[in-house]
Chains A and B, each alone.
Chain A
Amino acid sequence: MVIRKVLVFILCLVPLCLLIYQIAAGQLGPDVGKALVLATGIWALRFLLLALAVTPLRQVTRIHELAQLRRMIGLYAWFYASLHFLVVLTYLLGWSWTIFIEEFSERPYMTLGITAWVLMVPLGLTSNRWAQRRMGRRWKSLHKAVYLIGVLACAHFIWLIRSDYAEALTYSLILTVLLLVRVGAKYKRALPRIGRGSHDSA
């Protein structure tokens, strides 16, 4: 299992390695900062959706070891989101505090994006077993915030669109499916209590 985890850990670094290579080889076009903003953003979103897909995948494939990968994938989502934030600060906002305040308060899509990242912080910090044990049931409630983060991230993406809706729509659709699956699972659990009398042992 450790080998599998190490493998996945390395695999999750591939997008970053690819970006570093592309920077060095000058393959990101004439607006490198913008290209990095888009690339880090899209990978953060992909890892986020991947993390949300673990539970449904586990239920469908019955490969229960998948659950052990969820924390790593979630943390990588936070990692790429942090890179995205860093790149935005560097290339778009020029590390100017005044510009940052102005952008945060006046651009709704940025407010959404920053809020999504801020929400990831407590989730990332409590992603270890020590916190899980200390928080008990509150841990699960806190980590339900990942659904909101998904929604904020997709809204952030959609609000940025100028040219073509296809990509943002696709990711939003995937998010919707992943959330609906959970709603469906909740209903399924509730059903046996609603009068399926002939199967009860009573």
Chain B
Amino acid sequence: MLIQKAADIPSSEITPESVYLKRRQFIGGSLLSSAALALSPVTFASAQKELTALQYTKATGDSPSGFYTSEALTPFQDVTHYNNFYEFGTGKTDPGESAHTLTTDPWSVTVEGAVDKPGKYNLEDLLSKVNLEERVYRLRCVEAWSMVIPWVGFPLADLIKQFKPTSSAKYIQFETLYRPDEMSGQRSRTSTIEWPYVEGLRMDEAMHPLTIMAVGLYGRQLPNQNGAPLRLVVPWKYGFKSIKSIVKIRFLNAMPATSWNRIQSKEYGFYANVNPDVDHPRWSQKSERRLPSTFFSPNRILTEPFNGYGEQVASLYKGMDLHRYY
């Protein structure tokens, strides 16, 4: 089943940059979320930066299929203080405590490879050419816990189009920042990961309407520990594919290396599609704990193929042996 809306916006409908920059003067337009405007910037108790509210289109039950779910949202406090972001330490609460040392402004993304417009782009320039929208997605970690998060972002396809990939661009690779003086976990000698963290997608996965680049969550800018200022979200794959704090994008002809696959290829594949029928060698993937999971309510639920997004993405993998290509 094809999702028509997001991918088929003619360029004539794209908000001109000048209008977008003056958007606050267009307040009162029916699509803008008035709630976001009423909120003042949020500051964490632990001396972190203010998170400005974002302007975006809200997701509702009428949004295209898969863009929204009515399941209970995981509380903001849990989303921002229970993270796997080993660049800041391997404990779940480490990123929340240590990520404030990261500077995310200025930020640029270097684009290389099979494109007509490679180069180093300022994040501001990239964002001025896209429209922000909310996506309420499930996120399933390979560790068998999951969350429901209201992201704010834009289709990755809208970003890719800006670089004009050539026909030899079959895969896309992303790279996270390597800045050990600001990311304490990158200075660890007992970490299992080789820095910088890299991830990748097949081109059709990257262009899929569900795939987004997120710049915010819960209506505000991304906190550092969630991958500020720019991260990928691919909701039908295990969370480790949704790479954070992206600084480099490469367009390639062949399947790129990905960090977890490098560490243990028998456990972490390139595709990493959520699949209850393909167990992790060391634990079952048949169920997950939907967070918050408490002492009396473990919230144990059965895992769905493609994290419940099979209707939207299963066609990408038609004929593929998912036990072999995990």
Contact = CB atoms under 8 A, between A and B. Distances in A.
Contacts of B74: 30
A108 B279 CA distance: 14
Nearest to B286: A99
A29 B298 contact: no
B191 interface: yes
A106 B294 CA distance: 28
A65 interface: no
**Top-7 shortest CB links A-B:** A163-B90, A30-B292, A30-B78, A166-B190, A30-B291, A164-B90, A165-B190
Contacts of A90: 298
B289 interface: yes
A107 B282 contact: yes
B282 A160 contact: yes
Nearest to B78: A30
A164 B283 contact: no
A99 B286 CA distance: 9
A163 B293 contact: no
How big is chain A's contact interface, by range? 20 to 34
A165 B286 CA distance: 27
B188 interface: yes
22 contacts: A29-B81, A29-B82, A30-B75, A30-B292, A30-B293, A31-B145, A31-B293, A32-B293, A32-B298, A33-B289, A33-B298, A34-B293, A91-B300, A94-B287, A94-B298, A94-B300, A102-B284, A106-B279, A163-B192, A164-B90, A164-B188, A166-B190
Contacts of B90: 163-164
Contacts of B293: 30-34, 91
A110 B84 CA distance: 23
B86 interface: yes
A94 B287 CA distance: 10
Nearest to B89: A164
Contact of A107 (B93, B283, B300): B283
Contact of A29 (B92, B143, B282, B287): B92
Interface string B62-95: 0000000000001100100110101000101100
A159 interface: yes
Contacts of A166: 188, 190
A124 to B, nearest CB: 26
B284 A103 contact: yes
Nearest to B267: A162
Given A30-B74, A30-B82, A33-B293, A163 B191 contact: yes
Interface in A87-137: 90-91, 94, 99, 102-103, 106-109
A154 B188 CA distance: 22
B278 to A, nearest CB: 13
A161 interface: yes
A91 B287 CA distance: 11
Contacts of A165: 190, 192
Interface string B117-146: 000000000000000000000000001010
A83 interface: no
B26 interface: no
Interface in A145-192: 159-166, 169
A29 to B, nearest CB: 6
Contacts of A109: 282
Contacts of A99: 284, 286
Interface string B292-326: 11110010100000000000000000000000000
A33 B145 CA distance: 11
A57 interface: no
Nearest to B75: A30
B190 A164 contact: yes
Nearest to B291: A30
Contacts of B294: 32
A72 interface: no
B298 A164 contact: no
A53 interface: no
A31 B291 contact: yes
Interface in A58-92: 90-91
A50 interface: no
Contacts of B286: 99
Nearest to B294: A32
Contacts of B86: 163-164
Contacts of A16: none
Interface string A13-41: 00000000001000001111110100000
Contacts of A161: 192
Contacts of A102: 284
Contact of A31 (B190, B282, B283, B289): B289
